[in-house]
Amino acid sequence: MQPISEIYPQLSGQARRIAITMHQKPDADAMGSTLGLCHLLRQLGHTVQVISPTNWARWVDWMPGAEDVLDYELHRQKADAWLDSAEWLFCLDFNHMGRTKSMAAKLSALACTKILIDHHQEPDVNMFQYGASNTAKSSTCEMVYDFIVESGHRDKITVPLAECLYAGVVADTGSFRFSSTHASVHQMVACLKERGLEHTRVHEALYDNYLENRLRFLGHVLMNRMEVIYELNTALIHIPKADLLKFDIKTGDTEGLVNYPLSIQGIRLVGLCIDRDEERKWSFRSKGSFDCNTFARRYFEGGGHFNAAGGRDSASLSDTVRRFRQAINENASLLQ
């Protein structure tokens, strides 16, 4: 994989047909980074289509350009036609094609130039001709900002573009709480503000944009589905499918739930398991020196960042929770 800077000279001049995609069930960073890049490339004269592998949370629908994103599962024929005709494919906020679910085989088979922009660990670099992979970055949105500035197009940062990038940075840094919030993040935000960003509007769109049922669901989960294992400084939340149906929980409604137990004094690891139709989905968060990425890879076919990772399990909810209990006991020395 060659450095992404190699394509900077090609951004201006010849107009290209470009597809941009992200991981399945895109969050604010995935949607914000793809749309932010799309805004830039269209200003440079390229024809661009953003394609999501799946549906996405309704609380990112406000992002400028989200109305034009193709859902691959709903519009496969149209999306495949776009991919087949694309000269460039930008892959944002995922490190290997498996994160794109049913799109993975299609993307892997494409003969076009593939370009990676991502901040997750252990990327499949052999799949991409060009790319930027930096685990020290707060978010893929920060990396898209770097791409814009380093390629000489800071003047192309419009308010809609700034809103998309800011949303992803806010979400992935926990509103600037996490250790990934380096000085470069604040410098980026300062630039976006100078370009006209109204940050209050973005915060309201991200965090004050839910339905009543989600708040009641959160209360139910914290009261009835959370277990605190004090001797291992761990919290466990496991949510059966019946709860999702009872509270009419949609894509994105569980976003951020895994972070709540981290506010409990002494808790170093949180495991959240949600019973989905096809599999059980895990989210892990930690404080300090516990490596969520290694833990997720070892026990739950997952991965991600040092203090935030995800995984999956095809076993039943009760069996995968049992596996989690065994896993934290095996890692007891790292949690105390």
Instruction: Dump pLDDT digits (tens) for 228-277.
Output: 999 999 999 999 999 999 999 988 899 889 999 999 999 999 999 999 88
Residues 6+ apart with CB under 8 A from 260: 218, 222
Strands 226-229 and 234-239: what pairing? antiparallel
Instruction: Dump pLDDT digits (tens) for 17-75.
Output: 999 999 999 999 999 999 999 999 999 999 999 999 999 999 999 999 999 999 999 99
Domain boundaries defined on the chain: 2-207, 212-335
Residue count of the chain: 336
Instruction: Dump pLDDT digits (tens) for 172-221.
Output: 998 998 888 999 999 999 999 999 999 999 999 999 988 999 999 999 99
**Based on C-alpha coordinates, what's the Rg of the chain?**
20
pTM attached to this predicted model: 0.90
What kind of architecture, by CATH, is found in domain 212-335? Roll (3.10)
The fold of the 2-207 domain, in CATH, is inorganic pyrophosphatase (n-terminal core) (3.90.1640)
Residue 207 to residue 294: CA distance in whole angstroms? 30
Positive or negative torsion for Cα 110, 74, 37, 165: negative
> Identical fold at 2-207 and 212-335?
no
Residues 6+ apart with CB under 8 A from 140: 29, 30, 33, 92, 93, 117, 118, 119, 168, 172
